[in-house]
Structure 1
Amino acid sequence: MYDFAAIGAWLEFAVRWTHVITAIAWIGSSFYFIALDLGLHRDRNLPSGADGDEWQVHGGGFYHIQKYLVAPDKMPDDLVWFKWESYSTWLSGFALLFLVYYLGAEFYLIDPAVMDLNIWQAIGISAGSLVLGWLAYDWICKSKFGDDNTRLMIALYVILVGLAWFYTHVFSGRAAMLHLGAFTATIMTANVFFVIMPNQRIVVADLKAGRIPDAKYGKIAKQRSTHNNYLTLPVIFMMLSNHYPLAFATEYTWIIASLVFLMGVTIRHFFNSMHARKGTPYWTWAVTAVIFIVIMWLSTAPMFMGDEPEEATGPALRFAEAEGFDEVHDIVLGRCSMCHAAEPAWEGLLWPPKGVRLETEAQIAKAAREIYLQAGISHAMPPANLSFIEDAERAKIVAWYEGAL
C-alpha cells in the first residue's frame, strides 16, 4: 500500500515536470516567433523576394533570418514544423488533470459547500466544459461575428469571465482556477491542431503543386495566433494559482481570474509594441500594477474555504473509522492545526498554508493521503519540525493510513 501511494506521488511529479518542460518549449518558441515577426525589417528590397529580415546574435554566432509571405522559389525538403511543443504540453497537462483532479476528485475537484456533486458528475462537467467551450469558441470565430477581430476579442473576454463565474460556482476554488487555465490552454492547443496546422498544410500543398495559396488561410491562422499570444500569460497564472490560496480561496475568485486576463493583455501589449518598434508604452506596466493591487485587495476578503461536513463521507469515512484514527487525530491537532486552521495560531500566518484546514475529524480524514505523505513517509511537515513531531508519532500516522487501505 505504501508503494502505491509513493509511486502515485512520484508519477504526479514526473508528469508535472514533463508538463513544465513542454510548456517552456511551447511558450519559448511562441514568444520568440512573435517577437521575430513583429521585429522584421520590411523596408528593405530584398533580392530573395522575402517580406522582411532581421540579423540576430546568440551563442557566439550571427543569424540572418528572412520571412516569406508565400514561400521561397523552391520549397525546402527539411521544413521544420512547430507543433509538438503545443501538443505535448496539452497532453501532459490533461494527464496531470486526470491524476490530480479526476482520481482525487473528492479532495481537489469537489467542494460540497459550493456544489455537492458525485465524482462522475464533476468529471463529466470538467471534460464536457473543455470540449463544448472549444466548439463554441471555434464557431464564433468562424461566424460573421468573428470577422471583426476587436469585437471577437471582447466577446472572448466576456466568455472567459462567464466561465470563471461558472467554475467557481461548481468546483472548489482551487479546481475552478485550474479549470479556467485548462479551458484556455485547450483553446490554444486546439487552435494549433485544428486551425493553424491544417491551414499551413494547405498552403504548402498548393505551393508544391504550383498553385497560388488562398490568402484567407494565412489570415485565419494569424487571428488564432493572436488569441494565443494574449492568452499565454493568464494560463501560466492559473496553473500557478493552485499553490497560492490567496488566488483561489476567496469569494471573489472569479473576479480575480477576470482581472488576470486583463493583465495578460496589458503585459503583452507592451512587448508587442516594443518588438514592432512602435514605442515602449510604459503606461501598460502602471495599469498592470493597479490591476494587481486590486487583485491583492480582493484576495484579503474573508477566505472562502467552505465549512467541511461534520462527518466524514465517501472514501474519507474509511480513514475516520480506521484503527488508530483517534491517536492520529490528537497528533494532528497537537502538531499541525496551530497552522492549518481557519485562524492560525502560529505568529505570522493569516491563513492556513495551501488552504488546508486540519481542525475537525472530517478535515483530517479527508486529507489522509497528504498527511501520510507529508508527515508520515516524509518529514516535509511540519516545516523544520517546528512543532517537534516525534518519530513514533509519524509511525502511528503511517500505520493508520496503511491499515485503512
Structure 2
Amino acid sequence: MAAILSNLRTTVIVSFVLSALFLAVFVGLGWIGLNFDFWQGLARWTHVVSGIMWIGLLWYFNFVQIPNMPKIPDDQKPAIGKVIAPAALFWFRWGAVATVVTGLAVAHLNQYMVSALTLGATTSFSVPYHIFIGIGMWMAIIMAANVWFVIWPNQKIALGMVEAEAEAKPKAARTAMLFSRTNTLLSFPMLIAMAMAQTVFG
C-alpha cells in the first residue's frame, strides 16, 4: 500500500482503476446500462472532477497562499514563487479549460447548451432552468477568461517567468490578485447555478 501512496501518479492511476471497477460492478450486475444516461453521467463526472481541481486551486490561492505570503520570511519566498506557484498555476489554468469544456459537453448532451448560452432567448425565455444554468455557465466562462487572459499573463510577470521591468512586477502581482479575487467573488454564485439548477427546477 505504501508503494501506491508514495507516488502521486501511481495513486491517481489506482484511483481511476478503482473508479472503473466500481462502475464495472454495477454495469455487470445490470444496475447501470451502457446507454446515453451512462455517458451523460460520465461527462458530468469529468466536469465535477475538473471543477474541483480549478475552484480548489482558486480557493487555495485566495484563502491560503495570498493571505499568508506576508508572513513568510523573505529568504523563503522564492520557494513559493519559483516552485509552488508555477505548479499550482499549471493545474489551475488547465483545470479552468477542462471545467468549461466538460461543462459545455454536459450542456450539449442535455440539449440545452445554445438555450443556456443565450440565457433562454432561443426558447423565448420560457425555460427558467436554461436562464439559471446559463448565468452560471457565463460566470464560469468569464472566470476562465480571467485565468488565461489576465491572471496567467500577469502571474508570469510577477513570478519572473518572463522578462519584465522590475517596477512592472508589483503592478502585475496586484492585477493578478484582483482578478483572482474577482473569480473568488463569482465562484459562489456560479456554484449555486451549477449545484442547484437540477434540484430547484427538476
**TM-score, with structure 2 as normaliser:** 0.66
Aligned to 2:75, which of 18, 24, 48? 48
Structure with higher helix content: 2
Q: Structure 2 regions of 5+ residues with no counterpart?
A: 1-32
Give the match's secondary structure for 1:189: helix
Q: Give per-residue Cα distances to partners, 1:364-392, cap 9 Å, x unaligned.
A: xxxxxxxxxxxxxxxxxxxxxxxxxxxxx
Distance 1:216 1:189 in 2: 21
Larger radius of gyration: 1
Distance 1:41 1:218 in 2: 12
The one-letter code sitting in structure 2 at the alignment partner of 1:174 is Y
Give the corresponding residue for 1:97.
Answer: 107
Query: Where in structure 2 are the equivalents of 1:229-248 lying within 5 Å?
Result: 229-245=184-200, 248=201
The one-letter code sitting in structure 2 at the alignment partner of 1:34 is N
Aligned to 2:98, which of 68, 76, 88? 88
Distance 2:191 2:69 in 1: 31
The one-letter code sitting in structure 1 at the alignment partner of 2:77 is A
Query: Where in structure 2 are the equivalents of 1:322-361 lying within 5 Å?
Result: 354=202
**Would you say how many aligned residue pairs link Structure 1 and Structure 2?**
163
Q: Give per-residue Cα distances to partners, 1:120-157, cap 9 Å, x unaligned.
A: xxx3x644x4xxxxxxxxxxxxxxxxxxxxxxxxxxxx
Provide the identity percentage.
Answer: 26
Structural RMSD (CA): 3.3
Confirm or deny: 8 A CA contact 1:25 1:85 kept in the other structure: yes
Query: Where in structure 2 are the equivalents of 1:270-289 lying within 5 Å?
Result: none
Aligned to 2:162, which of 188, 199, 205? 205
The one-letter code sitting in structure 2 at the alignment partner of 1:37 is Q
Give the corresponding residue for 2:174.
Answer: 219
The one-letter code sitting in structure 1 at the alignment partner of 2:98 is S
Query: Where in structure 2 are the equivalents of 1:69-148 lying within 5 Å?
Result: 79-80=86-87, 81=90, 82-102=92-112, 123=114, 126-127=116-117, 129=118
Q: Structure 1 regions of 5+ residues with no counterpart?
A: 52-65, 103-108, 110-122, 130-162, 249-353, 355-405
Give the corresponding residue for 2:183.
Answer: 228
Give the corresponding residue for 2:61.
Answer: 33
Q: Give per-residue Cα distances to partners, 1:173-213, cap 9 Å, x unaligned.
A: 11111101101111111111121112223441116xxx426
Q: CA deviation at 1:168?
A: 9.9
The one-letter code sitting in structure 1 at the alignment partner of 2:95 is E
Distance 1:217 1:14 in 2: 39
Determine if the alignment matches structure 1 residue 24 to structure 2 residue 52. yes
Q: CA deviation at 1:33?
A: 2.1
Aligned to 1:196, which of 151, 156, 163? 151
Does the C-alpha gap of structure 1 residues 85 and 36 become closer, same or farther in structure 2, counting only changes over 3 Å? same
Distance 1:26 1:43 in 2: 25
Does the C-alpha gap of structure 1 residues 101 and 232 become closer, same or farther in structure 2, counting only changes over 3 Å? same
Give the corresponding residue for 1:14.
Answer: 42
Would you identify which runs of 4 or more consecutive aligned residues in structure 1 move more than 3 Å?
A: 166-169
Distance 1:229 1:168 in 2: 31
Q: CA deviation at 1:224?
A: 1.2
